[in-house]
Structure 1
Amino acid sequence: MTNVYSFDGILVFGLLFICTCAYLRKVPRLKNWLLSEKKGVWGVFYKAAVIGTRLHLGVALSCFAMAFYVLFIK
Structure 2
Amino acid sequence: MATTADFNKMYSFDGILVFGLLFICTCAYLKKVPRLNSWLLSEKKGVWGVFYKAAIIGTRLHIPVAISCLIMAFYIIFLK
Same fold, TM exceeding 0.5? Answer: yes
Give the TM-score taking structure 2 as reference length.
0.89
Structure 1 runs not aligned, ≥5 long = none
Secondary structure in 2 aligned to 1:69? Answer: helix
Aligned length: 74
Output the amino acid matched with 2:44.
K
Structure 2 runs not aligned, ≥5 long = 1-5
Q: What is the RMSD of the two structures over their aligned residues, measured on CA atoms?
A: 1.4
**Residues 38-63 of structure 1: CA deviation (Å, up to 9, x unaligned):** 00000000000000000000000000
Partner of 2:55: 49
What fraction of aligned residue pairs are identical, expressed as a percent? 78
Q: Which runs of 4+ in 1 moved over 2 A?
A: none
Cα distance between partner residues in 1 of 2:10 and 2:31 = 25
Secondary structure in 2 aligned to 1:3? Answer: helix
Structure possessing the higher radius of gyration over alpha carbons: 2
Partner of 2:34: 28
2-11 vs 50-59, which deviates more? Answer: 2-11
Of the three residues 6, 9, 12, the one matched with 2:15 is 9
